[in-house]
Amino acid sequence: MKKTALAGLLATMTAFAQQPKFEMADVHISPTSHLTAQNFGGVLRAGKYVNRDVTMLSLIAAAYGVAEDAISGGPGWIASDLFDIIAKVPDGTTTAAANQMLQSLLADRFELVISTGTHPVPRYVLSVGKGGSKLKAASGSGNSNCQPIGGPGGPPAPGELPPNIKVKCTSMTSADIAENLHQMAGGYLDHDVIDQTKLEGSFDFNIEWTGRGALAQKGPEGISIFDAVSKQLGLELKLQDVPQPATVIQSVNRKPTPNAAGAAAALALPPARFEEAAIKPADPNGPNRTGLIYTGGSQMVASGTTRALIGMGFQIPQGIANDLVVGLPKSADTNRWEITAKVPSTGEGAPNVVRGRPQPPPLSVGLEMLHGLMIDRFELKTHMENREITVYALTLVGAKPKMTQANEQERSGCQGDPSLPKPTPNMQAMLNCKNMSMAELAENILRRAGGYIDHPVVDATGLEGGWDFVMGWTAAGAFRQPPPQTDQPAGGTVQASDPSGGISVFDAVQRQLGLKLVKQTHSYPVIVVDHISEKPIE
């Protein structure tokens, strides 16, 4: 072996040996439902590194300090499977040092192998439209900037839609336009914008668009950032794969190697609990609020019936709590409560500071604290068992679906894509779904179409592997015909139509995917309540 090669090998071995490692680590699949998963990054707390409900994609991004969309390759599950990592760190460990330890953990426990290179990654490409640019040369030589027209304004009155966003930009190069569009319209543009207009000089222009959250509500009167850029600037924004410097996943295991003996017990986190909570009956004349929100500082607020609060603690969507929480007295559906709780100042449930910004505890931790409160203050006792209940079975129409078998290397997930054409204007942006299993599709329907779905959704298609498809439907609130009633017979195909041209989620599944949702009885795990106090104890 040549001396230079030997020296390089020894340097590599020395660097690997010096790579810092966690003293001990518990790595396991997260029990959190995708319906409530939320991750703000890893935190250092009381001698531990804690990262819950995190995907492999996010772990690699944190470990190597790169953006998720600058990571190329790898199997589809890296963007969907959820993990919990709890590791012991020496006193004084910094975030940078913890991320180096995370590199070692990913290599040791998942056998992650990465490289760097130039690979296609998704980017929004800004180019000149077919009709030519509508930009006008800048009238002055001032600083380039964009300012809102009319000021920020206040929140809309109840029942009113928020106004469109209006911006005046001056002395902007095409590269400036690309950068500012990404900053101003982040609700639409979830990847960087690259300038490929080849336009020279600086420009002045005004642009107006509808915020992402209000686009579906405004219907034909709304305008997406994509349409605004096209119609008002004569430019185009298209999502494309563009060769860029990237971190490339060469190989990674889906299942981590087993924990060291005793690691899980030694690193177990104490149950998250509110420090204190005030519980009072909800105003019978007030709004029927249901949910758990972080209101800032150290406060969280929960509202709902006894059944709804129990369901939230078990991460059960509100619309199917009637099916999945059984054995309750009638008062559990009429007694409504308002809970004002204080989150702990340290430990699990405490607000986190991530990348310099205060963040609430992850939703799964907030729901864990709510579950603990129901145990402590309502003396809740439960067990789980399988029972026959009504479900929406996702079934196949005909011999083949209207979907494309996916490349197993594609990232698994669904993203709203406002650039896709919509069958009807009174609907939200179309979902562009890649490498989705039918079980994941069933979960996504439950998560995204809750206004329609009042029973669990299960996969009964018999279709294996991942699938690519595009689908969209009219939001339940904008649909003129209400969703099907629960007294429809089991075994019937669920359909609904809107005279205004809207598409229900039931129609969308059948027309766009070649599947259908059929009511059936099915054995399903439910929460059986053995005991619950009608009123909270002091």
Inter-residue contact 168 to 138 (CB < 8 Å)? no
Within 8 A by CB and 6+ apart from 291, the residues are 302, 303, 304, 312
Q: How confident is the model at residue 2 (pLDDT cuts 50, 70, 90)?
A: very low
> Do strands 276-281 and 336-342 pair parallel, antiparallel, or not at all (unpaired)?
antiparallel
Q: How confident is the model at residue 144 (pLDDT cuts 50, 70, 90)?
A: confident
- Count the Cβ atoms, other than its own, within 10 Å of residue 331: 13
In angstroms, rounded to a whole number, what is the distance separating the alpha carbons of residues 477 and 397?
A: 28
In the chain, count H helices and then E strands. Answer: 12, 26
Mean residue pLDDT of the chain comes to 87
Task: Quote the pLDDT of residue 474.
Answer: 86
pTM exceeds 0.85 for this model: no
b/e map of 385-413 (b: 16 or more CB within 10 Å)? eeeebbbbbbbbbeeebebeebeeeebbb
Task: Quote the pLDDT of residue 35.
Answer: 84
Task: Quote the pLDDT of residue 173.
Answer: 94
Among 52, 27, 56, 42, which Cα is nearest to 96's? Answer: 42
In angstroms, rounded to a whole number, what is the distance separating the alpha carbons of residues 418 and 435?
A: 20
Q: Where are the beta strands (DSSP E) in 76-142?
A: 83-88, 113-128, 136-137
Q: How confident is the model at residue 127 (pLDDT cuts 50, 70, 90)?
A: very high
In angstroms, rounded to a whole number, what is the distance separating the alpha carbons of residues 268 and 493?
A: 47
Residue 156 has pLDDT above 90, yes or no: no
In angstroms, rounded to a whole number, what is the distance separating the alpha carbons of residues 87 and 48?
A: 5
Q: How many Cα atoms sit within 13 Å of 36 on the Cβ side? A: 23
Q: How confident is the model at residue 12 (pLDDT cuts 50, 70, 90)?
A: very low
- The first and second tokens of residue 174, run together, are 């095409």
Lookup result for tokens 């449930």: 349
Residue 331 has pLDDT above 80, yes or no: yes
Q: Where are the beta strands (DSSP E) in 413-472?
A: 413-417, 430-436, 457-459, 467-471
Mean pLDDT value across residues 79-89:
95
Among 308, 510, 268, which Cα is nearest to 392's? Answer: 510
- CA–CA distances in Å: residue 402 to residues 399, 408, 441, 513: 10, 18, 14, 5
Cα angle 144-148-150, degrees, rounded to a multiple of 5: 140
Inter-residue contact 435 to 76 (CB < 8 Å)? yes
Mean pLDDT value across residues 417-429:
73
In angstroms, rounded to a whole number, what is the distance separating the alpha carbons of residues 368 and 374?
A: 10
